[in-house]
Chains A and B, each alone.
Chain A
Amino acid sequence: MLTKTSFQGKLTKTENLFIPFVVAGDPTPEMTIQYALRLQKEGADILELGVPYSDPLADGPTIQRAAKRALNAGMSLRKAIQLVPELRKNGVEIPVVIFTYYNPVLQLGHEYFFELLEENGAEGVLIPDLPYEESEEVRALAEEKGIEFISLVAPNSDVRIKQIAEHARGFLYCVSTLGVTGERSGEMSADSLSFIKKVKEHSPVPVAVGFGVSSNDDVKLVREHADGVIIGSKIIRLIEDGLEKVQQGNENEALEDFSAGIHELVK
């Protein structure tokens, strides 16, 4: 039996979850807080706060561009974690999962990384380039600190699906198709759906589907088969669409457009 973590405490439901992804500091830390508030208002259940990285192997061009903008604005893993209390102060109540590549974690040091997460009140962590076989120490530390270590499972995980799913914490991230992150429509095939079904059979936590979900139709389809939907690149593009307005000082207009876009996506 899992002990109840603050993640679970804050999660108000375990199905029909909406899990958006934003890059911390894209285009500024202040705007990240505003976008997070808008996402919460549009029904987000968990926030994935992405840490920009110079060499993101699992990401497509949209998230790479966002990472570059955030790095240029001086964002780092430490600063992204320290953004969590700022999100709280401004009214973000949903669980926050720090999404980061492994090398920045390694440079901070495992122990210090988890101390920072705990101190700043982040509820989860997701490291896309730290597969099950390499993550033993990190998983143990996460467990010790009561922080959810989110695992990923892919359509070609094959015999690994059972092992990964059984050890899942928080929610289980189901990569819908082979490939990097990015907007794609209509790629949810019968194979994807049977894969999701298999994952759900083994998972003790909600199963959420991500990678390529970019339209209201995709969202509806995922909702029929999984417990949650994860949306990244499409959200980043909505942020990108408002960049000019933000630069011109029309933040409110950019945020209104963003809210409308999100509403259309997850209605």
Chain B
Amino acid sequence: MQVFPDIKGRFGDFGGKYVPETLMGPLQELEAALDEAMEDTAFIEEYHHVLKEYAGRPTALSYADKISEHLGGAKIYLKREDLNHTGAHKLNNAIGQALLAKRMGKQKIIAETGAGQHGVASATVAAKFGLECKVFMGEEDIRRQELNVFRMKLLGAEVVSVSSGNGTLKDATNEAIRYWVANCEDHFYLIGSVVGPHPYPRMVRDFQRVIGDESKEQFLEVETKLPDRIYACVGGGSNAMGMFYPFLEDEAELVGVEAAGKGIDTPEHAATLSKGTPGVIHGSLTYLMQDENGQITEPYSISAGLDYPGIGPEHAHLFQSRRVRYEAITDQEALDALKLLTETEGIIPAIESAHALAQAFKEAGDMSSDQTILINLSGRGDKDMATLMDHFQEEV
């Protein structure tokens, strides 16, 4: 098997380090520290210890019997990242990077956040490990995710409002990078997805692969075989990469689900692979949404966690090499799937995860009853209550 990324940080044609010269030194320092840490069994043991004792891993693998019966066809299992401490998969990566920051002697962390889940995870590990934490967040996201903003502040983090662009994740990321350029000597930049310059996409994947590793073990235990299809939602793509990576050499069909927003034939979507083209964003060569002049355009999704105009470079590679199939689900389809899961299984998923559910629900009925589906339920819906109330208030 060819190992990705290669020495230049490339996944096939994608990845690399497209950053101002000032960041090349800090990235090389990070790469060296990461290589050393990943070879150190004491570091790996500490990481897994914190995951177990603090985050609550392994998370459950739940058989969704009611929904399987309702849809007919394949048996549906859910990997319950919503049960992870702080409510999403984001904490796995935040723990790994916080431990690395400490190992590197950096006492201050910065992070960017869209839906707020990564911001909350970063603020949480900062509190846990005694680090100073500054979270950059677009002003529009601050408005949409009031509760998570309060959680971050309660945890002792400073939330920096970013007003450039549309005031969403793209703009928060730009501002976090600019701040890092000026403060790279004593700050660790804790990136929340498999995006950014090398070695971030690899590092975040390796801290998130625990999702796929656990899933594999749990699935073999209950089904004595691997799932036929695996679904995960994709914004930047960290929950999907964490789930897919351990299965890349297996036969399972892998399906990444992007946000089609109001439809991929409208300008309002965040379907980077379905509708984007290759380019450079936030230090990495990948697929992105842009105009004919190479100006990056603003994405749209009802989910603040998916409206990012880029995608992790490894996803771009898996898309190009066709190892993963990528589909796009609209706001409405995601909301319908969310409601169905909530009513049949008693689980309120994050709107992000509902995109993966919607695609799986579309396909499950066409599969046979001896086939199995695994869906990564990347997070819980608590943070989305304000949005959900707007949509469902009259129905309930």
Contacts and interface: CB of A to CB of B under 8 A. Distances in A.
B177 interface: yes
Interface residues on A, range: 35 or more
> Most chain-A Cβ atoms within 10 A of its Cβ — which of B25, B279, B290, B295?
B295
Contacts of B174: 55-57
A130 B181 contact: no
Interface stretch (A98-106, A139-147, A239-247): A98-106
B18 A129 contact: yes
A178 B22 CA distance: 6
B24 A157 contact: yes
A42 B279 CA distance: 39
Contact of A103 (B20, B164, B294): B294
Contacts of B65: none
Contacts of A102: 18, 280
A107 interface: yes
B340 to A, nearest CB: 38
Interface in B178-233: 178, 181-185
B198 to A, nearest CB: 10
A204 interface: no
B283 A178 contact: no
B296 A152 contact: no
Nearest to B280: A103
B5 interface: no
A91 interface: no
A105 B281 CA distance: 13
A57 B296 contact: no
B26 interface: yes
Interface in B262-300: 278-283, 285, 290, 292-297
A158 interface: yes
Contacts of A53: 295
A152 B283 CA distance: 16
A78 interface: yes
A131 interface: yes
Given A178-B182, A178-B185, A54 B17 contact: no
Interface in B367-381: none
A77 interface: yes
Contacts of A104: 293-295
Contact of A77 (B17, B25, B280, B293): B293
B388 interface: no
A57 B181 contact: yes
Contacts of A130: 18
Contact of B20 (A57, A105, A164): A57
> Most chain-A Cβ atoms within 10 A of its Cβ — which of B25, B185, B290, B294?
B294
A64 interface: yes
Nearest to B277: A107
Contacts of A154: 20-22, 24-25
A129 B22 contact: no
A57 B19 contact: yes
B17 A134 contact: yes
A106 B279 contact: yes
Given A64-B164, A107-B292, A131-B21, A58 B181 contact: yes
Interface residues of B, number: 36
> Most chain-A Cβ atoms within 10 A of its Cβ — which of B19, B178, B283, B285?
B178
Contacts of B295: 53-54, 71, 76, 104
A180 interface: yes
B182 A133 contact: no
A58 B25 CA distance: 15
Nearest to B278: A106
A233 B260 CA distance: 39
A58 B296 contact: no
B89 interface: no
A160 B181 contact: no
A110 B25 CA distance: 27
Contacts of B282: 55, 57
Interface in A104-152: 104-108, 128-134, 152
B52 to A, nearest CB: 38
Contacts of A57: 19-20, 174, 177-178, 181, 282-283
B182 A180 contact: yes
Contacts of B16: 134
Contacts of B280: 101-103, 106, 129
Contacts of A78: 293
A226 interface: no
A102 B183 CA distance: 23
Interface in A184-237: none
B21 A157 contact: yes
Nearest to A74: B293
A156 B296 contact: no
> Most chain-A Cβ atoms within 10 A of its Cβ — which of B20, B183, B296?
B20
> Most chain-B Cβ atoms within 10 A of its Cβ — which of A55, A105, A107, A134?
A55
A210 to B, nearest CB: 12
Given A64-B164, A129-B19, A175-B22, A103 B290 contact: yes
Contacts of B182: 178-180
A153 to B, nearest CB: 6
A133 B21 CA distance: 10
B118 interface: no
B279 A107 contact: yes
27 contacts: A54-B297, A57-B20, A57-B174, A57-B181, A58-B20, A58-B181, A59-B178, A76-B293, A77-B293, A103-B279, A103-B280, A103-B294, A104-B294, A106-B278, A106-B285, A106-B294, A107-B292, A107-B294, A129-B20, A131-B17, A133-B17, A155-B22, A158-B25, A160-B25, A178-B181, A179-B22, A180-B181
Given A130-B18, A154-B22, A158-B25, 12 more contacts: A55-B170, A55-B174, A55-B296, A57-B178, A102-B18, A104-B293, A131-B18, A134-B17, A134-B18, A157-B21, A160-B24, A180-B178
Interface of B: 8, 16-22, 24-26, 164-165, 170, 174, 177-178, 181-185, 278-283, 285, 290, 292-297
